[in-house]
Chains A and B, each alone.
Chain A
Amino acid sequence: MTPPDELAIEVKGLVKRFGDVVAVDGIDLEIRRGECMGLLGPNGAGKTTTVEILEGLQEPTSGHVRLLGLDWKKDATKLRQRIGLTLQETRLVDQLTVEETVRMFASFYPRSLPIEELIGMVQLGEKRQARVGKLSGGQRQRLALALGLAGDPDLLFLDEPTTGLDPQSRRALWDVVAELKSRGRTVVLTTHYMDEAEVLCDRLVIIDRGRVMSRGTPQDIVASLGVEQVIELEAEPALDLERLRPLPAVVSAQRHADRVTLRVKELHVALPSVLREVEEAGGRLRHLSTRRPTLDDVFIGLTGRSLREGAEEKAA
């Protein structure tokens, strides 16, 4: 058991309903001070609803939430001074410049970071005098991050901070998160990028349809799948999944277009029998590769759906 004062966030039995829709269906969370916690899940999983309840922006239908040992019902002002956040999307004031916007947000906090430092942290120094309306999407998202940092928060919430971002902005955000962690600040972020979650987060909670599917460090979660390697192959004619599934050490088999993905326990056991199968079918291998499993494999293993599918649906 972690001592309660070590916990930045403590959530028990969180439920949020919108009419018939159950957006959050009984989530428990314990987030320690100084760690970066990732909420991972496809679109509509309930990530935004969960963080907005933690941020005090939505009321839970039921459940118990404590942040930094405080309660939204009693200590709202104190909490707002100690947290920072970025929403999934915010349209800032187009007519203001970057500097004016940061200065305004900084004025809301009793203890704010210097304007120069905030703008520097998100690498917007050159754009200081630019109007917000003229910034690119990535620059706006970095500005939103600077605004989240304005009050030098103990606890920072980032809702899909890098969705659709250019590489420079992504890197800038990663650097900021690393910097915050080194200063002992707590970060909660939602994402559907596996690489991001693996790089940034100390621990992850995977949610789907408002429920926790799995939790732990990225390594633990991947290990819990019981899969050591992933084989991807393409053969002609196409392979029959039903014949691949019963092969020794194969945990699951899936087809995406022509490509077959096999998640296996021991590669040295699985691979020979898979190749034999190709040969017996009289086929020809067009592609074969093996890799270590990723969180996406975990997600597919848990739900039968890809995390990325959700993201692509959204982009479409």
Chain B
Amino acid sequence: MGSLGQLMLMRLRVLWRQPEVLFWTFVFPVATTLVLGLAFRNSALEPVRVAVADGPEAPALLARLQGVPELEARTLDVTEARRQLARGRVSLVLLPGSPNPEALVDPSQPEGRTARLLVSQALAATPDMPRLEAVKATPVSEPGNRYVDFLIPGLLGMSLMSSSLWALALPLVAMRGGKLLKRLAGTPMSRAHFFLAFLLARTVFAALEVAFFCAFARWLFDVPMFGNYLALLGVGLLGAMCFASLALLVSIRARSEESVGGLVNLVSMPMMFLSGVFFASENFPGWMQPFIRVLPLTALNDSLRSIMLEGTSVLTLGAPLAVLAVWTILPMVATLRWFRWV
């Protein structure tokens, strides 16, 4: 077997023989997703909570509000009601008054607007003119449209990013600290083979990661798969290669695990928020979009999401895949050029 094979075996053995690495690769991302998935599981919409300030007219107002199923109303002392509004426990406080009661809302609470509409509708209704139900509401919670469906591909992308970055950056820096890189630099080892072995060994584990993720997304959350599993795997592996290549780049100089840890966070943190893991990246202002588009995690997440949820064919994902390819090749070239071996 040639040196590339031997170097790959070295990486696989190191990963395989360290149970803690397996834990961080498989158990941890899955456990995180499980917790997040449970937190954002779709349940029936909670009713909006409102308070009526105590007073002679309060019982009458309360009775009218209680007729609305989407509202959960109760009477509170006015100071207490204001405090609960400030803490977000109620979305609206109704102060009885004549001729009309006054509604207090907190502009920073999105529920406030819903509460105001529901309350005014309830108060406007009279016994002979009941509340209008012109539009029938059907809750959408079919697989494929829920928040957890949005979340799963993004979490897969994020997990591929962080495991690729950490699983390469830390051992490389440790090898530099222990002079193993210097020792290898004293042999005729092909340096391209060395880096390639890290990338390829990483894709072996990334393949397991993707398979694991798909299986439990399907079984636990019933996340559908509208596209092709092979396409998803291929994109996932390209993503893992891309972040592995970035991991080489962040490790080109660092000597201590602390300093490379800082760099890994510097690279991954912004993408965790910008690249549509927890919410769509379209929420950011338009001038940021061109920048967000060319981030590797955006490209990966968008591709994974559209394969999984829209059944998009890989052939139409040219642009994001090109972004991933560029982010794989450029860091690799820079690494070959500037990597510090001694």
Confirm or deny: A304 has a beta carbon within 8 angstroms of a beta carbon on chain B: no
Stretch from B63-71, B97-105, B179-187, B283-291 contacting the other chain:
B179-187
Q: Establish whether residues B180 and A93, one from each chain, have CB atoms under 8 Å apart when the complex forms.
A: yes
In the complex, what's the smallest C-beta–C-beta distance from B73 to chain A, in angstroms? 64
Which A residues, 110 to 125, have Cβ-Cβ distances below 8 Å to chain B? 110
Q: Establish whether residues B188 and A80, one from each chain, have CB atoms under 8 Å apart when the complex forms.
A: yes
Confirm or deny: B334 has a beta carbon within 8 angstroms of a beta carbon on chain A: no
Confirm or deny: B123 has a beta carbon within 8 angstroms of a beta carbon on chain A: no
Q: Establish whether residues B185 and A109, one from each chain, have CB atoms under 8 Å apart when the complex forms.
A: no
A-contact bits for B1-30, CB 8 A (1 contact / 0 none): 111011101100110011000000000000
In the complex, what's the smallest C-beta–C-beta distance from A247 to chain B, in angstroms? 51
**B187 — which chain A residues lie within 8 A by C-beta?**
80, 105, 108-109, 150-151
Q: Establish whether residues A108 and B189, one from each chain, have CB atoms under 8 Å apart when the complex forms.
A: yes
A57-B185, A81-B188, A105-B187 given; A91·B179 CB < 8 A:
yes
Stretch from A82-90, A191-199, A255-263 contacting the other chain:
A82-90
User: CA–CA, A151 to B183, complex, Å?
Assistant: 14
Which of these, A81, A83, A100, A108, contacts B3 with CB under 8 Å? Answer: A108
Q: Establish whether residues A110 and B188, one from each chain, have CB atoms under 8 Å apart when the complex forms.
A: yes
A57-B342, A77-B188 given; A96·B13 CB < 8 A:
yes
User: CA–CA, A91 to B342, complex, Å?
Assistant: 13
Confirm or deny: A107 has a beta carbon within 8 angstroms of a beta carbon on chain B: yes
Which of these, B14, B185, B189, contacts A95 with CB under 8 Å? Answer: B14
**B9 — which chain A residues lie within 8 A by C-beta?**
100, 104
Q: Establish whether residues A95 and B342, one from each chain, have CB atoms under 8 Å apart when the complex forms.
A: no
Chain A minimum-CB-distance residue to B342: A57
Q: Establish whether residues B6 and A93, one from each chain, have CB atoms under 8 Å apart when the complex forms.
A: no
Q: Establish whether residues A93 and B10, one from each chain, have CB atoms under 8 Å apart when the complex forms.
A: yes
**B342 — which chain A residues lie within 8 A by C-beta?**
52, 57-58
Confirm or deny: B178 has a beta carbon within 8 angstroms of a beta carbon on chain A: yes
B-contact bits for A46-88, CB 8 A (1 contact / 0 none): 0000001001111000000000000000000100110101010
User: CA–CA, A89 to B9, complex, Å?
Assistant: 24
Q: Establish whether residues A104 and B6, one from each chain, have CB atoms under 8 Å apart when the complex forms.
A: yes
Which of these, B5, B18, B180, B186, contacts A92 with CB under 8 Å? Answer: B180
Q: Establish whether residues A107 and B182, one from each chain, have CB atoms under 8 Å apart when the complex forms.
A: no
Q: Establish whether residues B180 and A95, one from each chain, have CB atoms under 8 Å apart when the complex forms.
A: no
**A89 — which chain B residues lie within 8 A by C-beta?**
179
User: CA–CA, A83 to B185, complex, Å?
Assistant: 12
Which of these, A87, A96, A110, contacts B183 with CB under 8 Å? Answer: A87
Which of these, A56, A58, A81, A103, contacts B6 with CB under 8 Å? Answer: A103
Chain A minimum-CB-distance residue to B188: A80
Interface size class of A (residues with CB under 8 A): 20 to 34
Q: Establish whether residues B186 and A55, one from each chain, have CB atoms under 8 Å apart when the complex forms.
A: yes
User: CA–CA, A52 to B183, complex, Å?
Assistant: 11
Chain A minimum-CB-distance residue to B15: A95
User: CA–CA, A58 to B182, complex, Å?
Assistant: 10
Which A residues, 142 to 159, have Cβ-Cβ distances below 8 Å to chain B? 147, 150-151
Chain A minimum-CB-distance residue to B5: A107
Which of these, A57, A77, A96, A107, contacts B186 with CB under 8 Å? Answer: A57
Q: Which of B2, B178, B186, B189 has the most chain A CB atoms closer than 10 A to its own CB?
A: B186
Tell me the count of chain B residues lying within 8 A, CB to CB, of chain A. Answer: 26
User: CA–CA, A58 to B342, complex, Å?
Assistant: 8
Q: Establish whether residues B3 and A95, one from each chain, have CB atoms under 8 Å apart when the complex forms.
A: no
**A85 — which chain B residues lie within 8 A by C-beta?**
183, 186
User: CA–CA, A103 to B9, complex, Å?
Assistant: 11
**B180 — which chain A residues lie within 8 A by C-beta?**
90-93
A57-B185, A81-B188, A87-B182 given; A96·B10 CB < 8 A:
yes
Which of these, A92, A100, A109, contacts B188 with CB under 8 Å? Answer: A109
User: CA–CA, A108 to B183, complex, Å?
Assistant: 12
Q: Establish whether residues B178 and A95, one from each chain, have CB atoms under 8 Å apart when the complex forms.
A: no
Chain A minimum-CB-distance residue to B2: A107
In the complex, what's the smallest C-beta–C-beta distance from B98 to chain A, in angstroms? 80
Which of these, A87, A91, A104, contacts B7 with CB under 8 Å? Answer: A104
A58-B342, A95-B17, A107-B2 given; A100·B10 CB < 8 A:
yes
In the complex, what's the smallest C-beta–C-beta distance from A146 to chain B, in angstroms? 13
**B186 — which chain A residues lie within 8 A by C-beta?**
55-57, 80, 83, 85, 87
User: CA–CA, A55 to B17, complex, Å?
Assistant: 33
In the complex, what's the smallest C-beta–C-beta distance from A75 to chain B, in angstroms? 11
User: CA–CA, A93 to B180, complex, Å?
Assistant: 8
In the complex, what's the smallest C-beta–C-beta distance from B20 to chain A, in angstroms? 12
In the complex, what's the smallest C-beta–C-beta distance from B25 to chain A, in angstroms? 15
In the complex, what's the smallest C-beta–C-beta distance from A93 to chain B, in angstroms? 6
User: CA–CA, A105 to B180, complex, Å?
Assistant: 12
Q: Establish whether residues B188 and A151, one from each chain, have CB atoms under 8 Å apart when the complex forms.
A: yes
Further pairs besides A55-B186, A80-B186, A147-B183: 13, Cβ < 8 Å = A77-B188, A80-B187, A91-B180, A93-B14, A95-B17, A96-B10, A96-B13, A100-B13, A107-B3, A107-B5, A108-B187, A108-B189, A109-B187
Q: Which chain B residues have a beta carbon within 8 Å of chain A's beta carbons?
A: 1-3, 5-7, 9-10, 13-14, 17-18, 177-180, 182-183, 185-190, 341-342
30 contacts between A and B (CB under 8 A): A56-B186, A57-B341, A58-B342, A80-B186, A80-B187, A87-B182, A87-B186, A89-B179, A90-B178, A90-B180, A90-B182, A91-B180, A92-B180, A95-B13, A95-B18, A96-B13, A96-B14, A100-B10, A100-B13, A103-B6, A104-B7, A107-B1, A107-B2, A107-B3, A107-B6, A108-B3, A108-B187, A108-B189, A109-B188, A151-B187
Q: Which chain A residues have a beta carbon within 8 Å of chain B's beta carbons?
A: 52, 55-58, 77, 80-81, 83, 85, 87, 89-93, 95-96, 100, 103-105, 107-110, 147, 150-151
Q: 5 nearest interchain CB pairs?
A: A91-B178, A80-B188, A108-B189, A107-B6, A95-B17
